[in-house]
Amino acid sequence: MLKDLLKAFTSIKELKNFILKYEHLIAYLFFGVLTTLINLISFWVFSRFTAVETIPATVIAWIIAVIFAFVTNKIWVFKSKNKSRRETTREIINFLIARIITLFVEVFIMWLMVDHFHHDKLIWKLLCNVITVVLNYLFSKLFVFRVSHLPKNKVKK
């Protein structure tokens, strides 16, 4: 991928090829950043302006971010064509299972680093988001949306 990225800067054609080849990854990163911002802002609002403690604020922020992430992942990132109620239900359940796993990872890290070791909660919230973005991508690609519907090579030669 790094080689392709460097090559993308050599011409407009190579840039277009790069974008086509890595379209779902680029979309995931874009919406992942938006999801992370939603998560961080929600956490900040609940932990700063209410009496909500670290862990409940983390969970509330997570719920808001997960709803946003499911919609954007289904429609724009992995472009799921599943229209049936059964398949959509399967996607929702698998998405929630994957996100619950990463929620537990995030809650554990926040508990350990903020509540136990008393480190800065916003810094650790940001670090947790980096970890969960990577894990969530892998779960979504391999388990939830199964990208078999994506063309193997959309790059024009």
Q: Copy the structure tokens of residue 60.
A: 């509330």
- Give residue 134's pLDDT: 87
Whether this prediction's pTM lies above 0.75 is answered by no
Q: How far apart are the first and last CA of the chain?
A: 17
pLDDT tens for residues 22-38?
998 999 999 988 998 99
107 vs 54: CA distance, rounded Å: 9
pLDDT band at 1 (very low <50, low <70, confident <90, very high): confident
pLDDT band at 152 (very low <50, low <70, confident <90, very high): low
Parse the chain into domains and list their residue ranges: 12-149
